[in-house]
Amino acid sequence: MSSFNQMFQRFSKSFPKGSIIFCEYEPGDNFYLIQSGRVKIVKIIGEIEKTLDILNPGEIFGEMAILEEAPRSATTIAMDKVQALEFNRANFEIIMRGNPQIALKLMKLFIKRIYDQKRRFMILTLDDIEAKVADVFLMLAEKESQVARESDTIEFKTSIDDIAHWAGIPPAECRNVINHFSQQRRVELYSDRIVVKNINDFDRFVKSRRKTKE
């Protein structure tokens, strides 16, 4: 990696601590590889700045810019003094040829994104709104599946707004569904988390709804 850094030093840019690297809604065709420092990815939802991720040296961000000319979907802020290599569409291929290690990393990132989007697609194509919400919980549970599960009860550090976002439904409707689940004692709703009492029950429920559709 260090020889690589030397090779591409001319692409290296420095960002002071606390500065914005790029801003949500900004057009942009650069993407970045962090050399040092940490980068926070945030999105302003309503009146709240929500941290989506914190990236460390060696990680890539802004890569969607090389795929499409859409505005940035989140804001990135330097948490420390950040040194990062800045690439664009024009020098992308040169850089990937020069360092397949990064290309491989990017490939894995794309694979993960494709999977996540496919999973999201499955949720969105359910007709039943309750099944959509239940399926979001299943998706979140799958993401945590590395941890051996000891019981059918799973605690999610998530909010109704997040669930609504994933399910592609208005937050008010999502709240109704979750309240209904809560009345049925299938979930417990807390201010900072939602507990699903029996994830297998949701699994069966979603499967049955998916089948009747076909």
CB of 2 to another protein, least distance (A): 17
The answer to whether residue 77 forms part of the interface with another protein (CB under 8 A) is yes
Tell me how far apart the alpha carbons of residues 38 and 51 are, in angstroms, rounded to a whole number. 13
The radius of gyration computed from the CA coordinates of the chain, to the nearest angstrom, equals 20
Select the residue interacting with another protein from 1, 13, 14, 49 (CB under 8 A).
49
State how far the Cα of 133 lies from the Cα of 139, in Å rounded to an integer: 10
Residue 159 in contact with another protein, rule: CB under 8 A: yes
The contact mask relative to another protein for 182-211 (x = CB under 8 A, - = no) is ------------------------------
Q: Is 160 a binder of another protein (CB under 8 A)?
A: yes
For residue 43, give the amino acid letter.
Answer: K
Q: Does 25 bind another protein (CB under 8 A)?
A: yes
Site for another protein in 117-156 (CB under 8 A): 117-118, 120-122, 124-125
Nearest CA to 124 among 91, 166, 175?
166
User: What letter would DSSP give residue 119?
Assistant: H
CA–CA gap between residue 164 and residue 70 (Å, rounded): 23
Instruction: Establish if 13 lies at the interface with another protein (CB under 8 A).
Output: no
Which residues pair with residue 43 across a beta bridge?
Answer: 50
Binding mask 85-124 for another protein (x = CB under 8 A): --------x--xxx-xx-xx-xxx-xxxxxx-xx-xxx-x
Interface size with another protein, residues (CB under 8 A): 52
Q: What are phi and psi of 104, to 5 degrees?
A: -65, -40
Residues 140, 192: Cα–Cα separation, whole Å: 16
CB of 79 to another protein, least distance (A): 13
Which among 79, 76, 62, 75 has a CA at the least distance from the CA of 28? 62
Per CB under 8 A, residues contacting another protein are 18-20, 23-27, 44-50, 66-68, 71, 75, 77, 93, 96-98, 100-101, 103-104, 106-108, 110-115, 117-118, 120-122, 124-125, 159-161, 168, 171, 175, 214
